Amino acid sequence: MAIIVQKFGGTSVADADKIRRAAKRAISTKEKGYQVVVVASARGKQTDQLVADALELNPNPPKREMDQLLSTGEQQTVSLFAMALEAMGQKAISFTGGQIRMMTDNAFTKASIQSINAEIMHEQLRQGKIVIVAGFQGIDEEGNITTLGRGGSDTTAVAIAAALDAEECEIYTDVDGIYTSDPRIFKDAVKMDQISYEEMLEMASLGAGVMHIRAVAFGKRYNVNIHVRNSAKDIDGTIITHEVPQMEGVVVSGATVQKDMAKIGLIGVDNIPGNAAKVFAHLAKAKVVVNDIIQTEVSDEKANLSFMTSISDLDTAKETVEGIKKEIGCQEILVRQDIAEVSVVGVGMRTHYGVADKMFGALAKAKINIDSITTSEIRISCAVDEDQAEKALVAVCRAFDLDKPASERTF
């Protein structure tokens, strides 16, 4: 029997009515002949509330304890979801991450999934039950509860879909699908029918919070069909899939803005072999995720090295580079937190020219200064002052006609 995994985000299970609505959807999918696994997030803004509770007692809470606390939000949802299903006459069973042996490493607050025991879920599905699994959490080999990073329930769902070889993984959220840009900031953004894993990976890593980046990476690696949909409507959303040739015809598919980031600049590092390796080896050991590394030679003796990291990793990153400052001959460490990154993404950039020109032109026309520029084969990113981030995003969206369906764009 084919399996469908349905993930419901926080807003889609925020109260009893919404849990009932989600439960009805799971039942109607089962009635179509599928086995159904539901993955649920914490209700509404509960995870934010738990974070606030923790910070009230300790401004720098131990990460293990943070995971122990944050995982409780999802545990509440799944048991309530199972109760709602049972009340509708549908057999159901809920599981925490640990109960389905969702094994992760021990990188508390941003753990990576290593394996899942699919048989535990298969056994319950064979008994005709709907299985509900708590998103966002796992356990390490010592039995500690871990979490996968904010927004991580998407990753739980796609990883389970891969482990069960599911036909589709449906991600139910509060918008109709994936838009050309965040519809909360660019009101005229349009929904895409499909997007490639590659583009979605870039968009997710550059601030499009609609999908957790590791979920997209799992989807790509294990060929999971991901369908992002609105939990309040019965309409098709956006399919995330492998690239098809027509996608190259669209030069820019989407634009993003990322705000919760910081830039660390190491000024006047000794220009000798091995120094960059040293810096990033220490950062990796401290489990700091870095992006957009730029190194420039200042003279034969000195080089400047900068990188971006998320605000949540900033303290650890600062401590780490301070620790090796002397060793690498660094003269000064500069930190900027008032920075944001605006990016455009599209697989068509591989074969079209003029994208950089158009993007920089749009920012110039809006009188927005560019702090630094980074590119990959399918994206261009500009760091700008944080207070100009939204204006920059809108200017870029308008320049690339991201308020129109792909077929009507002039670029």
Tell me the closest approach of the beta carbon of residue 146 to ligand ASP, in angstroms: 13
Tell me the closest approach of the beta carbon of residue 255 to ligand ADP, in angstroms: 8
Q: Which is nearer to ligand ASP, 98 or 151 (CB)?
A: 151
Cα separation of 51 and 69, whole Å? Answer: 8
Cα separation of 64 and 47, whole Å? Answer: 16
Among 98, 138, 151, 254, binds ligand ASP (CB under 6 A): 151
Contact 82, 37 (CB under 8 A): no
Tell me the closest approach of the beta carbon of residue 205 to ligand ASP, in angstroms: 16
- Name the segment binding ligand ADP (CB under 6 A); options: 175-183, 264-272, 293-301, 364-372: 175-183
Q: Is 73 in the site for Mg ion (CB under 5 A)?
A: no
Find all residues with CB under 8 Å of 324, minimum gap 6, and list them.
Answer: 278, 279, 282, 330
Site map (CB under 6 A) of ligand ASP, residues 34-73, x = contact: -------xx----x-------------------------x
DSSP 8-state assignment for residue 129: P
Sheet holding 145-147, edge to edge: 113-115, 103-104, 137-139, 145-147
Closest listed residue to residue 105, CA positions, set 134, 77, 142, 69: 142
Site map (CB under 6 A) of ligand ASP, residues 152-191, x = contact: xx--------------------------------------
Q: Which is nearer to ligand ASP, 108 or 307 (CB)?
A: 108
CA 226 from chain centre, in angstroms, equals: 14
Q: CA–CA distance from 388 to each of 129, 306, 314, 339 (Å)? A: 51, 22, 22, 9
Find all residues with CB under 8 Å of 237, minimum gap 6, and list them.
Answer: 176, 177, 178, 191, 227, 228, 229, 230
Site map (CB under 6 A) of ligand ADP, residues 217-246, x = contact: ------------------------------
Q: Which is nearer to Mg ion, 168 or 243 (CB)?
A: 168
Report 328-357 residues binding ligand ASP (CB under 6 A): none
- The alpha carbon torsion through 15, 219, 344, 191 (nearest 10 deg) reads -50
Report 182-211 residues binding Mg ion (CB under 5 A): none
Q: CA–CA distance from 300 to each of 182, 265, 295, 327 (Å)? A: 44, 19, 14, 18
Among 27, 69, 76, 209, binds ligand ADP (CB under 6 A): 209
* Beta carbons within 10 angstroms of residue 349's beta carbon: 23
Tell me the closest approach of the beta carbon of residue 41 to Mg ion, in angstroms: 7
Tell me the closest approach of the beta carbon of residue 148 to ligand ASP, in angstroms: 8
Q: Is 151 in the site for Mg ion (CB under 5 A)?
A: yes
Among 28, 55, 126, 184, binds ligand ADP (CB under 6 A): 184
* C-alpha radius of gyration, the chain, whole number: 22
219 binds, among ligand ADP, Mg ion, ligand ASP, none (CB under 5 to 8 A by kind): none
Q: Could you list the residues that contact ligand ASP (CB under 6 A)?
A: 9-10, 41-42, 47, 73, 135-136, 150-153
Q: Could you list the residues that contact ligand ADP (CB under 6 A)?
A: 9-12, 41, 151, 173-175, 178-179, 181-184, 208-210, 254
